[in-house]
Structure 1
Amino acid sequence: MIKWGYNIIKNITKNFYLAKGANYNFKDKTLIFKILNLLYLKSVFGKNENEVSQEIFGFKVTAYSYNTIILLFKEIFITNDYFFQSDNQTPKIIDCGANIGMSILYFKFRYPNCSIVAFEPNPRAFDLLKKNIEQNKLDKIELYNLALSDTTEEIDFYTGNDNEILLASTLKERGGQNNIKIQAHKLSSYLNDTVDLIKVDIEGSENQLLIDLVSSGKINNSKKYIIEYHHKINNKKSSFSTFIKPFEDSGFEYNIKTSFPKIGAFQDVLLYIYK
């Protein structure tokens, strides 16, 4: 009992400092603190259910576990990694790797009148993505259960167990133990007009997506990119310069956000690419 009490106090204290450091006003920081604590207590004391839900900034978010909501809430809403500024109050956004839709909710929180085209290849995640869009009655959103690559064929896709929806990739080294076939499309076929932002988090397939954008000549059809680049997956040879060069050649500038635990380790690199 003492240990339980200590862990609860420890996590509530951690949530306090996390909310305090978030780049929000006092009212929103208070709400973040409340949401973090509710999610934590539900994850510890809640019943085992097929689906769980939590309200976040006026949106109802449904997932297969509270831990998934906690992780995505921290990664997207608290860190503001997908924040971008636009003079257009109705920006056009393409979300590559939408998962259960937390990124879409974030974009709608920032720009309520934005329009979004979203792609998510994982069938289990896509089911929740549809549900989260429908139950929040969000408009101007198109959803596609497709992978993005430099081909239009069926390709291998690796997933974790049913509830491990964050573990999925076209790369065996990055995905789970289950192999399924999914349909791939080229992003360039959805880029006939200029968009304000392309967000990319596709677990190592960003290289194939870029190959398509370059070969189709449509790399300039987005004003900005926010890309999670996966560096040294399975200790592969470094090739970041090859990835970023097409953006440099096209006149883009960029900022980089990253960290790593030790020399030579895999790391997620967040790229803010703009003109």
Structure 2
Amino acid sequence: MRLLRFLFKDLFRSLQTAGGRQFLWLLLRYADRPRNKPFRAQVGPFRFRVVDGLSFAWQYKEIFTDEFYRFTTNEEIPVIYDCGANIGMSLAYFRQQYPAARIVAFEADPAIGQVLADNLTVNGIQNVELINKAVWINDAGVDFSSAEADAGSIYSTGQQQRVPSVRLRDYLLREPRIDMLKMDIEGAEADVLADCRDALGNVRNMFIEYHSYVGHPQALGGILQMLETAGFRYYVDTNQHRVRPFLNRRYNGNDVMDLQLNVFAYRE
């Protein structure tokens, strides 16, 4: 039995919970569909317009099965900022877990933003301030390349377009308290966080998906130092465990990125 658990560890773990079993079902049903081909999918009480089957399945695992964004609060009306809301699965989770929350959501990709708005309407997810602009260090716009799924970035090698932007720092300074700041902005996080350094005092919890792009300086050390200075504790995690990492220097064989990991920052 121990040998079987070792050989099939991830499968065994997934089968132990309803969320894990749902994730396996999504993988079986949608993950092998052609990439970046839109379709509609039902999962639990939600019906999503999906732009990529594999990304959809893994988003479900992180958000609903592993509950990356779960936090505790005594506030009657928690304040949640979702930077990089994509198709809205994170917003569905936030609204389900924190029904009274005031949510502000940002999405840089114009096409994904339309899908996001549609998903909010179809699922009756209300009272979300949706801003179809990139979070950035100013409001002058930024060059952005869409990846059609969940990897659109200012660093992507595809054709870029100028998209509107907002300075996140200005938004944070308006809030007396932010219970959760979620940041999944595909490489822009280092610049944005550096610009927000003096505006994080009222943030209680923060999720940062860190991305390191080949040919660009790595900024993880600076991010962690900033979190320490701002009074956060943090936990760093990655689902990638490389074999021979001195030789295997890419993230999942990616030609553009060489590291992706998650930073969970919180105040005690």
TM-score, with normalisation over the residues of structure 2?
0.81
Q: Kindly tell me: are residues 36 and 62 of structure 1, through their superposed partners in 2, closer, same or farther at Cα, counting changes over 3 Å? A: farther
Work out which of the residue numbers 197, 204, 215 in structure 2 matches 1:223.
204
Q: Secondary structure at the match of 1:151?
A: coil
For this pair of structures, how many residues does the alignment match?
A: 246
What's the CA shift string for 1:50-72, capped at 9, x where partnerless?
Answer: 74222223111111343332232
Query: Is 1:37 aligned with 2:25?
Result: yes
Q: In 1, distance between residues paired with 2:33 and 2:117?
A: 28
Query: Is 1:124 aligned with 2:111?
Result: yes
Work out which of the residue numbers 1, 15, 21 in structure 2 matches 1:20.
15
What's the CA shift string for 1:17-75, capped at 9, x where partnerless?
Answer: 453245xxxxx34xx525642663356689x9974222223111111343332232123
Query: In the alignment, which residue of structure 1 is the partner of 2:163?
Result: 182
Q: Kindly tell me: are residues 238 and 176 of structure 1, through their superposed partners in 2, closer, same or farther at Cα, counting changes over 3 Å? A: closer
TM-score, with normalisation over the residues of structure 1?
0.79
1:1-275 → structure 2 map (5 Å cutoff): 17=12, 19-22=14-17, 28-29=18-19, 33-34=21-22, 36-37=24-25, 40-41=28-29, 51-160=38-147, 164-171=148-155, 175-191=156-172, 192-193=174-175, 194-214=177-197, 217-231=198-212, 233-234=213-214, 236-258=216-238, 259-261=240-242, 262-263=245-246, 264-265=249-250, 266-275=258-267
Q: In 2, distance between residues paired with 1:127 and 1:151?
A: 23
Contact 1:15/1:33 (8 A) holds in 2: no
Q: Kindly tell me: are residues 40 and 252 of structure 1, through their superposed partners in 2, closer, same or farther at Cα, counting changes over 3 Å? A: same
Q: Secondary structure at the match of 1:221?
A: coil
Offset at residue 91 of structure 1 (A): 1.4
Q: Kindly tell me: are residues 147 and 45 of structure 1, through their superposed partners in 2, closer, same or farther at Cα, counting changes over 3 Å? A: closer
- Match of 2:46, as an amino acid? F
Offset at residue 150 of structure 1 (A): 1.0
Contact 1:43/1:67 (8 A) holds in 2: yes
What's the CA shift string for 1:231-260, capped at 9, x where partnerless?
Answer: 3x2154443222222221122211111244
Q: Secondary structure at the match of 2:47?
A: strand
Q: In 1, distance between residues paired with 2:29 and 2:266?
A: 40
- CA RMSD in angstroms comes to 2.7
- Match of 1:80, as an amino acid? E
Q: In 1, distance between residues paired with 2:70 and 2:234?
A: 15
More helix by share: 1
Q: Kindly tell me: are residues 185 and 36 of structure 1, through their superposed partners in 2, closer, same or farther at Cα, counting changes over 3 Å? A: same
Unpaired segments ≥5 residues, structure 1 = 1-12, 23-27
What's the CA shift string for 1:162-218, capped at 9, x where partnerless?
Answer: xx32231011xxx2512111011111222211110100010010012112212xx31
Unpaired segments ≥5 residues, structure 2 = 1-7, 251-257
What's the CA shift string for 1:112-165, capped at 9, x where partnerless?
Answer: 2222100001111111110111111112211111111112112210123xxx32
Q: In 2, distance between residues paired with 1:49 and 1:234?
A: 24
